[in-house]
Amino acid sequence: MNRHLSVLFIIITTILLKATLVLSESENFTKVSFFCKNNESKLSTVAQNNNGSLQPIFHWHSYAFDSNTDLSKSCKNATKILNIHFSENPYLSSFLLIPTVISRLPGICISDEFRDCRRVLFVSYPDRSENNPHKKAYQILNEIIDTQFQDNWIKDERSSTSTLEIELF
């Protein structure tokens, strides 16, 4: 009888210990959300962690896009996609931005793996002065990304492409 109680005690203790570890791990990760912020007529996509710290990601400059681009709508759409991506992957602390071509238009994808477009963040209107939509995608990303990330390019030697890594908080 004592032996059975000892085994039962060990099992219950193990279960409680594992439950405590899982709860403490889930409390320690940084939850990130994104929103559009308009500060002195400068529209930005901003990340916010569960401590309230803010980190700007994009600054939606009109000169980076075709005149037909609705910057407010672009900010809201990108923010929505980032929030979906992070709600489905809550333990991420970084992500990749991939300049790409989507239906012959310059676009930016988000991913957490190199060269893997998980979601289209946005697609831009064509620029009549730019014949290379891939080059235009790089140009747009360089013009709107916050300066703290501008040196975070990762070059893929095999495909001659680059990806921008965004480390959060």
**Domain chopping of the chain, boundaries:** 32-167
Q: Which residues of 74-89 are buried (b: 16+ CB within 10 A; e: fewer)?
A: bbebbbebbeebbeee
Structure tokens at 6: 């000892």
Please give the model's pTM, rounded to 2 decimal places. Answer: 0.79
Cα of 75 vs its chain's centroid, Å: 13
In order along its 169 residues, the chain shows pLDDT tens digits of: 556 556 555 666 666 555 544 444 445 567 899 999 998 889 999 999 989 999 999 999 999 998 889 999 999 999 999 999 999 988 888 999 999 999 889 999 999 876 678 899 999 987 666 688 999 999 999 999 999 999 999 987 777 778 999 999 8
